Amino acid sequence: MSQAADKERWLIRLIVIKKVLLAAVLLVISLAALYGDIHYAQLSDFADTWGQADRRLLAAMAQQGAVLGPTRLIQLAVVSALYALLILVAAWGTWLGRRWGEWLLVALLALALPLEIMHAWHEQSPRTFVVLGLTVLGLVVTSRRVWH
């Protein structure tokens, strides 16, 4: 195997690892949204309790859940879980070198690109541009691999 192919495979593996981490975060969001839907009446109490305990992230999530309402929370849970499962399937297939996994990964990266461009446009920060750059790099690398 050539050195260029080894580098490309290494980059693909890094992209897959990043996507698996994203899928894990999405699954946590899905579970949190589902928990928020089940315990919707108590979300304000949770936000107050967590805020007093200086757990700002949890408090902010509980407050956001209270603002969304139970219907939107269950929608968020379902969509996050389905997207996470798609990412995991694409990552697994790509890691094993399956062509369908690589195609699915290209599709998921392309699907995320417009959203990340809009996010970078509205929130211009180094973090958003790094995420956008990684998505573009991932799309270029995986696309080249799929079409060759």
Among 36-45, 101-110, 117-126, whose mean pLDDT is lowest?
A: 36-45
pLDDT of residue 112 exceeding 60, the answer is: yes
Using CA atoms, how far apart are residues 138 and 110, in angstroms rounded to an integer?
10
Instruction: Domain ranges for the chain, please list them.
Output: 3-147
The 10s digit of each residue's pLDDT in 114-142 is 888 888 898 888 888 888 888 888 889 88
Is pTM beyond 0.85? Reply is no
Split at pLDDT 50, 70, 90, the class of 89 is very high
- Are the C-beta atoms of 32 and 61 separated by less than 8 Å? yes
* 133, amino acid identity: G
Report the b/e string of 31-57 with b at 16+ CB within 10 A: ebbbbbbeebeebeebbeebeeeeeee
**Closest C-alpha among 8, 26, 5, 22 to residue 137:** 8
